[in-house]
A and B are shown apart, each in its own frame.
Chain A
Amino acid sequence: MRAFTYERASSVEAAANAASSNRQSKFIAGGTNLLDLMKLEIETPTHLIDVNGLGLDTIEPTAEGGLRIGALVRNTDLAAHETVRRDYGLLSRALVAGASGQLRNVATTAGNLLQRTRCPYFYDTNQPCNKRQPGSGCSAIGGFSRQHAVVGVSDACIATHPSDMAIAMRALDAVVETVKPDGSHHAIPIADFHRLPGETPHIETVLEQGELITAVVLPPPVGGRQIYRKVRDRASYAFAIVSVGAVIQLDGTGRVAVGGVAHKPWRVEGADAELSRGARSAASALFADARPTEQNRFKIDLVERTLGAVIAEARG
């Protein structure tokens, strides 16, 4: 790990300011992704701004009937929160499908959204990777790509976003609240928060340098059967090959977001509209523009079948 200076931020504004004055600084929350990558020198910040003491760790109802989740709320506390498990079961389920008990005790709402890809070439500093080293090439294209993205890909990168929580947030139409270094407040719909790789796969979200996430807001509950189904190589403690997060209403309508298939949580309006016609119709809409590799083509069928199982479970 490279040496770095360290400060405990005293306020949201001070944190954002400190981060904008040093472009090589990073916020640290739980540290479970950042420190992992710093040990491998994939991330090399020269300054860390600890945001754990900012009091952003509460869950409060909003005036609109939704829920404001502080950026520093731990994954365990969010999954166990009474309102979340009752009204946003999809979110609880997605959270407990991810990582381990030890990691969830530390991992935060903001850090989870911002965790980086698990593409093995991104982790292997001896291999070209456009995300780690812009312009160096993509080792996954033409390499081992079984776990990579099948839709929204580019010629520069076919990595997936690994978060389970983000799939639930996408299906529930969460909004990410931020503060920029100039003190201005912003609300970013989760649909616009993560970017597709395009020609700049190293830029993963719309956040600016120094922009601090303060909370994630959920709209009022939408009811329905809320199901998160994760398919992985082991029964527990493994990242998704694919995952399906869905809210299905009694009349068969609903919404669906899919993980393990794209650079961001994958949701397509047209697929929501097809849900009541069944998994095949919805999956065709989800993957209309898919560009799988020979090795990951199976994900398209796997999502269709997983969605089929989810719909069957919702009908109970």
Chain B
Amino acid sequence: MNHTTKVSFTVNGASRDLDLDNRTTLLDALREHLHLTGTKKGCDHGQCGACTVMVDGRRVNSCLTLAVMHEGDRIATIEGLGEPGNLHPMQAAFVKHDGFQCGYCTPGQICSSVAVLEEIRANIPSHVTGDLTTQTQITEAEIRERMSGNLCRCGAYSNIVDAIVEVAGTKA
């Protein structure tokens, strides 16, 4: 019985080859095997969004997917988005607007925020979208609804929305 599998994917542009216990989630592969600890484990059950990363350009909860299911995929984490001294505009906006307190949910919030603006531009509808047959607009209501999969125990929500609105406004 072989309970391990080889898998290769790229993380933030670098190829990674791993031989993993099949049970390893993408989240545990990133944190425990690749030592990319920016991505956080909150609930480990898909409920909080702290583990949000990008897979082939789409945000996912890395705790609810197996690493071995990602053969050939492109993974991007908060580390790949920007670093101190070279922040992504969303990271800079979170700092400016105090979009966090303890910071535990923040990497997930930021990855999700970047994806939310892309999803609205790609005209993916949400629960608050009015007309399904016209281009979705970037509004505060759209942002709030689409960020609902990212919980913040410190309740920094209104500052998080301010940060996203600013980035949306300067880029839209």
Contact = CB atoms under 8 A, between A and B. Distances in A.
A50 interface: yes
Interface stretch (B9-17, B91-99, B142-150, B164-172): B142-150
Residue among B25, B45, B116, B146 facing the most chain A CB atoms (10 A cut-off):
B45
Contact of A80 (B2, B124, B149): B124
B32 interface: no
Size category of the binding interface on chain B: 35 or more
Contact of A36 (B46, B129, B149): B46
Given A5-B2, A35-B66, A102-B52, A89 B132 contact: yes
Interface stretch (A93-101, A124-132, A172-180, A258-266): A93-101
Interface in A40-92: 48, 50, 52, 76, 79-80, 85-86, 89, 92
Range class of the A interface residue count: 35 or more
A85 B133 contact: yes
Interface string A231-267: 0000011000000000000000000000000000000
B112 A3 contact: no
Contact of A8 (B59, B71, B148, B149): B71
A10 to B, nearest CB: 13
Contact of B65 (A1, A31, A76): A31
B49 A236 contact: no
B45 A39 contact: yes
B2 to A, nearest CB: 6
Contacts of B150: 100
A3 B52 contact: no
A101 to B, nearest CB: 5
A106 B149 CA distance: 13
B123 A96 contact: no
A20 interface: no
23 contacts: A3-B23, A4-B22, A4-B23, A6-B66, A31-B65, A32-B61, A32-B64, A35-B25, A36-B64, A39-B45, A50-B69, A52-B69, A80-B125, A85-B133, A96-B127, A100-B49, A100-B150, A101-B116, A102-B49, A103-B46, A103-B61, A105-B59, A105-B60
Nearest to A236: B148
Contact of A76 (B61, B124, B148): B124
Contacts of B112: 101-102
A28 interface: yes
Contacts of A8: 71
B60 A106 contact: yes
A88 to B, nearest CB: 10
A102 B23 contact: no
A6 B68 CA distance: 9
B125 A28 contact: no
A102 B125 contact: no
